[in-house]
Amino acid sequence: MTDYKLLIGGELIDGDKTLDVINPATEDVFAQVSWASEAQANQAVAAAKKAFPAWAKTPIEHRRAKLLELADALAANADVLARLLTSEQGKPLPEAQGEVAWTEGYLRHYATLTPSSRVIQDDETCRIEARREPLGVVAGIVPWNFPLLVACWKLGPAVITGNTIIIKPAPTTPVATLKFGELCQKIFPAGVINIIADNNDLGPLLTSHPDIAKVTFTGSTATGKKIASSSADTLKRLTLELGGNDAAIVLDDVNVKETAQKIYGGAFMNGGQVCMAIKRAYVHETIYDDMCNELAAIADSAVVDDGFKQGTTQGPIQNRMQYDKVSAMIKQAGQDGTIIAGGTIPDMKGYFIRPTIVRDVKDGHQIVDEEQFGPVLPVISFSDIDDVISRANASDYGLGGSVWSPDITKACEIANRIESGTVWINQHVTIAPNVPMAGYKKSGIGVEQSQEGLDEFTQMKVLNIAK
């Protein structure tokens, strides 16, 4: 018996096994949750399959109302959910509250959407309509950096378009999502929303299951490739939001102090554990020293501590594996370049790493070429625009990027040549539910958010009537 149960077929049930969840700030087990067996995962798929025909036929106005009810319930339980997020994910409590509020806003937005349809031709010869219909059962597989927000990025578009869904959170952050399942259970018909937790063992079952029509996944590129392969046999629809190595290109005409603050925010939000964080900063040589010094001063002033302590600006890394990975990358970065802030592991329990700024590194160094997904930023000097654009583009990733200059025309010319799904100018990581989010190259397949993202949860159907 655990406090955090699976949601399968409208029932909150114990898992066949239990899973310990660690608070990354203390390294102590703070919760035990239900861990679904393969049989329970199959039950969840069967329940979603059974619920699909009626839900697909439910008028969209009714589905909108249910999603809004869920948003209300989320808001009413914001405090509990935010505290669970801080406990399992590590982020400072105000940021966890922000994640819950953000999630609510996304749900409210999805409730306003309608799948696109259009009349292609309507004359004396024929009427041709292109419509969109739901796909069936969707599997939503979620990472550990924004557990609730990303779960709802999948759940909201799936249910508004008439699909049913199985959400699977990451094994290190299932708690808030299972708690959220209690709210879904009270609001939605049985089987429309199912939530199962695992220990990294149930993904392949879902991604190869013949009764699942679509997989929407956010996580690493390595796992994305496995999903593409395991879903190939059943030709599932796929939306993959994967890793990134976003470059910020900072021109010589910026205000260094102001820009440093914004670059820091874009790189170290959520302790750098953001798919679209700035992961490499290319700074023009004439302002390179000043920018490095500013960034180091901001990093030095960060308060790295338990997310429940007032004043904490950066919590721990979410899990031991990522902590070890980032620690090893910082060690290597110290050999390749010069660490001018952080680089140290505070002498306390928990997966804490101080925000780290590394200068004098180059392309070819691990910290520049690979995604760190943690609180460390390499700052690289450049002198030539064409050269820096080709360096920014010389990556397997292409999620986001940014150009920084008060000269918007010049910045746009550079942005046009950056191979990434989003290019910001004088900002980074600004996202919204009505703005498409897509990745070039190995950063993903398909689109999330916006009308285009919504339509990925549907099947195109053409009605062609002879007159």
Binding residues for ligand NAD (CB under 6 A): 141-145, 168, 170-171, 200, 203-204, 207, 218-220, 223, 226-227, 241-244, 275, 371, 373, 399, 444
- Report, in Å, the least distance between residue 113 CB and ligand NAD: 20
Nearer to ligand NAD, 242 or 330 (CB): 242
Nearer to ligand NAD, 279 or 365 (CB): 279
The identity of residue 104, as a single letter, is E
Give bridge partners of residue 448 from the DSSP assignment: 437
Active-site residue flag, 241: yes
Q: Which of 334, 386, 387, 341 is nearest to 360 (CA)?
A: 334
Query: Which residue minimizes CB distance to ligand NAD?
Result: 203
User: Cα–Cα distances in Å, from 458 out to 8, 113, 230, 238, 451?
Assistant: 23, 13, 21, 11, 11
Nearer to ligand NAD, 249 or 275 (CB): 275
Residues 6+ apart with CB under 8 A from 208: 230, 231, 233, 234
Compute the chain's Rg from CA coordinates: 23
DSSP string, 452-465: HHHHTTEEEEEEEE
Give bridge partners of residue 112 from the DSSP assignment: none
- Report, in Å, the least distance between residue 309 CB and ligand NAD: 26
Nearer to ligand NAD, 444 or 446 (CB): 444
Nearer to ligand NAD, 382 or 457 (CB): 457
- Report, in Å, the least distance between residue 159 CB and ligand NAD: 20
Any idea what the Cα angle at residue 170 is, between residues 13 and 273, rounded to 5°? 150
Nearer to ligand NAD, 242 or 249 (CB): 242
Choosing from 241, 294, 448, 456, the catalytic residue is 241
Q: Are 372 and 391 in contact (CB under 8 A)?
A: no
- Report, in Å, the least distance between residue 375 CB and ligand NAD: 14
Other residues' Cβ atoms within 10 Å of the Cβ of residue 366: 15
Q: With 0-12 CB in 10 A as exposed, 13-18 as middle and 19+ as buried, what is 228?
A: middle
- Report, in Å, the least distance between residue 146 CB and ligand NAD: 7
Nearer to ligand NAD, 184 or 399 (CB): 399
Q: Beta-strand (E) ranges in 242-347?
A: 246-250, 278-284, 338-341
User: CA 389 to CA 56: how far, in whole Å?
Assistant: 47
User: CA 31 to CA 22: how far, in whole Å?
Assistant: 7
Residue 54 DSSP class: H
Residues annotated as part of the active site: 241
